[in-house]
Amino acid sequence: MAISGILMTNGTVNQKPREFKSSLDKDSFLNLLVVQLKNQNPLQPMEDKEFIAQMAQFTNLETTQNMSRTLKVNSAYNMVNKLATARYIDENSSEVKKTIGVVEKVRVDNEKIYLSLDGKEVLFDDVEEVTDVLSPVEQMQMINQNFGQVYAFSMIGKTVKAKVNNEDVEGPVEKVKLDKGKVFLTVNDKDISLGSVYEIK
């Protein structure tokens, strides 16, 4: 929130904007305490109890802020090698856009924490979603599943032999079905799994 202050210069009135923080950080708290000590009534100085109580408040505030920053930094480092979605401001259009990518590294600059993903640097506070990247085993399973689907579709019209419930099924592949990640071939109006096929003509 900006509040305009009045400044007198050579008999003219100029308005100078002054910025006020909506929250009290540890530096502001310490400055306030110093000003209070400088301007206290010498006939009625601040009591030790008051001073100790205010210093205790300052210490608690500093500890809380340091803990909050440490948690943020740890959370940021835990995002490395994970898939993240974040907001960023486009330099050309000044529009707020979204980017998604694997977090490659973390950079801490004073109070700000940056994450590098998708060739961009985004603020930690602008991250909207974080998910685990597929493990090598899951990636291999997905590749095998996709390969199985492509292979199954190439079998349409070909005659196959398969073993289903200890019975031989033979006939042309009429169509391919996908059900919960599994591939099935329709042969003689029966759905047989791709893994049950042992001969292709």
Neighbour-count burial of 43, counting CB atoms closer than 10 A to its CB (0-12 exposed, 13-18 middle, 19+ buried): exposed
pLDDT value at 179 more than 80: no
Neighbour-count burial of 76, counting CB atoms closer than 10 A to its CB (0-12 exposed, 13-18 middle, 19+ buried): buried
Determine how many CB atoms are found less than 10 A away from the CB of residue 58: 15
pLDDT value at 144 more than 70: yes
Alpha-carbon radius of gyration of the chain: 34
pLDDT at res. 16: 47
The model's pLDDT over 160-172, given as tens digits with 9 standing for 90+, comes to: 888 888 888 899 9
Q: Which residues contact 65 (CB under 8 A, 6 or more apart)?
A: 25, 26
SS (H, E, C) 117-169: ECCEEEEHHHEEEEEECCCHHHHHHHHHHHHHHHHHHHCCCCEEEEEECCEEE
pLDDT at res. 43: 66
CB 82 within 8 A of CB 102: yes
The model's pLDDT over 87-105, given as tens digits with 9 standing for 90+, comes to: 888 878 888 888 888 888 8
Region 166-189: mean pLDDT is 85
- Residues shown for the chain: 201
pLDDT value at 20 more than 50: no
CB 188 within 8 A of CB 169: yes
Note if the pTM is more than 0.85: no
The model's pLDDT over 110-124, given as tens digits with 9 standing for 90+, comes to: 788 999 888 888 898
